[in-house]
Structure 1
Amino acid sequence: MIRGALTLFKEKGFHRTTTREIAKESGFSIGTLYEYIRTKEDVLYLVCESIHGEVEKRLEAVVDLKKPSTETLCNVITSFFRLMDEMQEEILVLYQEVKSLSKETRSAILDKEREMAAMLEKAIITCLPHPLPKQDTTLLANNILIHGHMWSFRRWMIQKDFTLEEYIDKQLSYTLSAMGINRDELNWRGENGTGNRI
């Protein structure tokens, strides 16, 4: 259902898409669709839930709380960016259509965004060898979140100039530098086992 709705929102926009069209695109009857959602806004909320659930699952898979390290943090950031690449359409629709939502639904989606930033913040606190001021940690977590999203909503420009690997490499270097870490001193081999800078 989410995929069907995303296709329509992208083609027609949120306001011009009807729930009947969402049902048809998703292969549901209108009655079946209403068992899952009440309004189109619910679909956008489900998109946000989907993103949040995937981020949580990915971060839990790569954060080793028993052996936290800067290398683990590199894996967290890399994994997050790869997920944002996989969920480009969802991210794009959220950014385009969140303004269309009621105050209550928009507030719920923003709460999910805060939760995602908090997950990244926890990873930073857990994995860094030295503590950072709370404000710095919060800002860095939000920077990672936004830079992940930017791969989608600025793709018309960024993806012409960078491959995903190059983008991750640059963003990782900037983020580590902001954390006071010299990337060249790390023993991080990266997901492909090379650790090579692009």
Structure 2
Amino acid sequence: MTQQKKTIPSMVKDPKLIEKRREQIIEAAVGLFISKGFHKTTTREISRASGFSIGTLYEYIESKEDVLYLVCDAIHHEVEAGLEAVLVETKNGADKLRAAINGFFHVMDKLQDRVLLIYQEIKSLPREAMRYVMAKEEQITSIFEEILSCGMEDGSLRIQESAVKLMAHNIVVLGEMWAFRRWSLKKYYSLEHYIDIQTSLILRELTTD
């Protein structure tokens, strides 16, 4: 079942102003959560870094957990947008997969600290918000499932239907590994080299009998 997006109440009625202010809050909170951690960061520090008073902050959110939820949702939105952008002009399933791997891994590099933040702090979210964030993770994985199924149908990829979901998860984990283990991997590989090697290994598995 698709998880419903959490509605965060606001005292402000202008949707554009809400979006603008929440973007400021997200950017300020991300830096603080990464440097200090979620629990050690105060809402007063978030308001100060956002450029407005604590009273103004509470016109747009109700709690610090709301801020973390907004951060997680914004990160997933950017990941999905990055994937969709690279799939526009691809032809068959194999081409889509190459483009998606390249796009996803680049997004993981761009958002590496934020991706790590989600996995470190997701447990701090209320249960329903956590379920929504986890469902968004599944949604990203499902994009790769659809690409793999497309490749099966057009004959450009060879994979048993029962293995599609597992392979999709494998690809997502390989992309996230660049974020989680960058401290070690960057000693030996550039991002492009890492993408080339992983893409080659994945496609070799999916294009040979």
Of the structure 1 ranges 112-121 and 31-40, higher mean CA displacement relative to structure 2 is found in: 31-40
**CA displacement at 1:130 relative to structure 2:** 4.2
CA pair 37-74 structure 1, distance change in 2 beyond 3 A: same
**Partner residue of 2:41?**
17
Q: Tell me, in whole angstroms, the C-alpha distance in 2 between the residues paired with 1:127 and 1:61.
A: 19
Q: Which runs of 5+ in 1 are unaligned?
A: 183-198
Q: Confirm or deny that 1:36 pairs with 2:60.
A: yes
Confirm or deny that 1:82 pairs with 2:106.
yes
Pair 1:120-2:144 in alignment: yes
Q: Could you tell me which residue of structure 2 aligns to residue 169 of structure 1?
A: 196
Residues 58-88 of structure 1: CA deviation (Å, up to 9, x unaligned): 2222224883341232011101100111111
Residues 117-126 or 82-91, more deviating: 117-126
Q: Which residue of 1 aligns with 2:163?
A: 136
Equivalent residue for 1:148, pick from 140, 165, 175 = 175
Partners of 1:14 and 1:97 within 8 A in 2: yes
Contact residue 65 and residue 126 of structure 1 kept, 8 A:
no
Q: Could you tell me the percent identity over the aligned residues?
A: 46
Per the TM alignment, residue 173 of structure 1 is displaced from its structure 2 partner at its CA by 1.5
Q: How many residues align?
A: 182
Give the direction of change, closer, same or farther, for the CA distance of 1:7–1:66 in structure 2 (3 Å limit): closer
Aligned 8 A contact 2:72 2:133 in 1? yes
Contact 1:63 1:123 in 2 (8 A): no
- Distance, in Å, in 2 between the alignment partners of 1:111 and 1:68 is 27
TM-score (norm 2): 0.78
Out of 91, 99, 109, the position equivalent to 2:133 is 109
Letter in 2 for 1:154: R
Q: 1:39 to 1:127 in 2, by over 3 A?
A: farther
**Residues in 1 aligned to 2:96 and 2:90: alpha-carbon distance in whole angstroms:** 11
Task: Output the CA distance in 2 between the equivalents of 1:126 and 1:147.
Answer: 21
Alpha-carbon distance, 1:110 to partner:
0.6
Residue identity matched to 2:128: E
Tell me how far 1:135 sits from its aligned partner.
Answer: 3.3
What is the root-mean-square deviation of aligned Cα atoms in Å? Answer: 2.1
For the residue of structure 2 that corresponds to 1:80, the secondary structure is helix
Question: Is the 2:86–2:99 Cα contact (8 Å) retained in structure 1?
Answer: yes
Q: Contact between 1:41 and 1:105, CA under 8 Å: does it hold in 2? A: no
